[in-house]
Structure 1
Amino acid sequence: MNNTPAFYPIGTPGTPWSGAERAEWLSRQTRHRSYESEVLSKVELLRSRFDVEEYGRLKYGDENFPLLAIRSRDWDEDLPVILVTGGVHGYETSGVHGALQFVNQHTADYVDRANLLVAPCVSPWAYERIHRWNPDAIDPNRSFYDGSPAEESAALMHLVAPVVDRVVMHIDLHETTDTDETEFRPALAARDGKSFTPGGIPDGFYLVDDSENPQPDFQQAVIAAVEKVTHIAPADDKGEIIGSPVVARGVIEYPLKTLGLCASVANARYKTTTEVYPDSPRATPEQCNAAQAAAVIAAIDYSLAHP
């Protein structure tokens, strides 16, 4: 007899979901906002200054989502490539709008210095549902590997493939939210038939470095820049952030490639994943977007200064 207490409204505790549970989960998802009006319209305004390409198209039922990437207009094969991604988790709003803010306001500084490739909203279906997963209850940010089951991840890998060895820096823009604890972590445990152990949400900005190729000075340069915009998350009483040891102020490490994370999609020397905390009483949405943009600028500046 399974004595695991129920902690999520779908499925049987201790039993991984089948197709029926995934279908029930999908039936509960509601569209809350518009990818077309909030994201595509902003990208369209950039066409006069950048090359915009459709690198894929997601078709889910009767819904259709073009995937757009923004490129430097005067692409120079002799220059290094900088990759910026946002919205891999669609609910993490500042990742999307921070990337667009960077493109709109700050790219002039890098003309003739680097090629910029920006995919501001990798998961548009999830953006509209304010969710972490795609319609198949798959996390795109655990799906960056050959034969990926997530169309969002496969499309981005295809986009990056021609320049995979020329990318010198990749920054992937994320958020950690209160709903990670109230919805997404319980859903993940339920989907996989595991128990759920409540945790905490760090109050502030932090970064995830690559434990397989750590770049501590690079990470600290980003932390220093972001701290001028918003506060940095402290370690908890175990010296951890979301269960991982803090290796330097505001920095934890994951094995990016092993976990199939987006920040491993290119063979860049410099990689980082940002984590903004939009639910903090000490941060506004505008601050969160600005923090993401500041992180991008600092990451590019450091990588170009330390080839």
Structure 2
Amino acid sequence: MTAMTPYPVGTPGQPWGAAEKAEWRSRQRKQRSYAGEVVSVIDALRGDFDIGQYSELDYAPDGAYPLFALRSRSWSDSLPVVLVTGGVHGYESSGVHGALRFLQRDAQKYAGKANLLVVPCVSPWGYERIQRWNPDALDPNRNFRANSPAGESAALWNLVQPLLGRFLVHIDLHETTDSDESEFRPALAARDGKEYEPGTIPDGFYLCADSARPQPAFQQAINDEVAKVTHIAPADPDGTIIGSPVVAPGVIEYDYTPLGLCAGITDARYVTTTEVYPDSPRATPEQCNEAQAAAARAAIDYALANPGR
């Protein structure tokens, strides 16, 4: 067996301290523009939505990153609230651009039916650097809790708190990529002083439901709509996807709240986390963006047709 090359930061078996985290951050390079690729699209939607800056992340010397949320212009206290989030992991491009596509094309059909709250890019520093973590080597999607140490997570947490009790749906848009195995999981093991154990990358779209409120018919409705756009990931031979048991075709479950996952920040009846695979030979980035928008649309349609608690 060929020995794995140690991760280039830190000492194998020893958790990172401040010096290692600083070295890791120094290796990250800006590769795309949040202002040019995301904020400009948000600005173009000002005629259709109320757009607000809900926080700003000061990541000097890299810069300051304003965080934006878009709300239905026809917001009404009598309507349920739907939350769509993208870019919690900034490198997951279709989460960001799928949310923007949903806003551009689909969102207006819900005027007078639901209040939409859409946050297309939760982690702009990560978006620009095609990175899973924030500059402090923290994964925002393990830090959604009160008084979070991750600025991205704390800002979104604070945004949704005044609306608790009114959410019907929260759909959080993610990707699984080949870089999960080539970079992000090895980095995680190195940061935590653990041995890296190779895993598998699912080929296709799948959902991660909340084990505390799984709503299997809701998950199935989303997969049925996405299957019109791209393929649903099969289970591995052991009946799992990324090591978790498959509870229905293309569906696994996590316990959201203890894990600090984004999709656990509301009390919505219907919650899910999407995952697409843009590196698949059977899918294109365009299909992945479309799959994310289709998932958001299907989630809202199902919930509005089945709103009872």
Q: TM-score range by the shorter chain?
A: over 0.9
Cα distance in 2 for partners of 1:267, 1:7 equals 42
The DSSP-based 3-state class of the residue aligned with 2:70 is strand
Match of 1:265 in 2: 265
Q: Normalising to structure 1: TM-score of the pair?
A: 0.98
Q: Normalising to structure 2: TM-score of the pair?
A: 0.97
Match of 1:176 in 2: 176
Amino acid corresponding to residue 53 of structure 1 in structure 2? G
Residues 5 and 13 in structure 1, CA contact (< 8 A), matched pair in contact too:
no
The runs of 5 or more residues in structure 2 that have no matched partner are: none
Cα distance in 2 for partners of 1:138, 1:204 equals 27
Cα distance in 1 for partners of 2:260, 2:85 equals 15
Match of 2:45 in 1: 46
The runs of 5 or more residues in structure 1 that have no matched partner are: none
Amino acid corresponding to residue 41 of structure 1 in structure 2? S
1:1-307 matches, cutoff 5 A: 7-62=6-61, 63-307=63-307
Amino acid corresponding to residue 260 of structure 1 in structure 2? G
Amino acid corresponding to residue 7 of structure 2 in structure 1? Y
Cα distance in 1 for partners of 2:266, 2:199 equals 32
Cα distance in 2 for partners of 1:164, 1:179 equals 35
The DSSP-based 3-state class of the residue aligned with 2:165 is coil
Alpha-carbon shift at residue 147 of structure 1 (Å): 1.4
Amino acid corresponding to residue 259 of structure 1 in structure 2? L
The DSSP-based 3-state class of the residue aligned with 2:64 is strand
Structure 1 residues 180 and 5: alpha-carbon distance in aligned structure 2, compared to 1, 3 A threshold? closer
Cα distance in 1 for partners of 2:59, 2:273 equals 28
Alpha-carbon shift at residue 5 of structure 1 (Å): 6.6
The DSSP-based 3-state class of the residue aligned with 1:43 is helix
Deviations 1:3-39 (A, max 9, x none): x975311111111000010010000000000000000
Deviations 1:52-111 (A, max 9, x none): 000000100130110000000121001000000000000000000000000110112111
Residues 80 and 166 in structure 1, CA contact (< 8 A), matched pair in contact too:
yes
Residues 53 and 69 in structure 1, CA contact (< 8 A), matched pair in contact too:
yes
Cα distance in 2 for partners of 1:282, 1:21 equals 38
Residues 6 and 13 in structure 1, CA contact (< 8 A), matched pair in contact too:
no
State percent identity of aligned pairs. 66
Q: Aligned pair count? A: 304
Cα distance in 2 for partners of 1:53, 1:161 equals 16
Amino acid corresponding to residue 55 of structure 1 in structure 2? Y
Alpha-carbon shift at residue 184 of structure 1 (Å): 0.2
RMSD of aligned residue pairs (Cα, Å): 0.9
Amino acid corresponding to residue 126 of structure 1 in structure 2? G
Residues 164 and 265 in structure 1, CA contact (< 8 A), matched pair in contact too:
no
The DSSP-based 3-state class of the residue aligned with 1:125 is helix
Amino acid corresponding to residue 83 of structure 1 in structure 2? L
The DSSP-based 3-state class of the residue aligned with 1:258 is helix
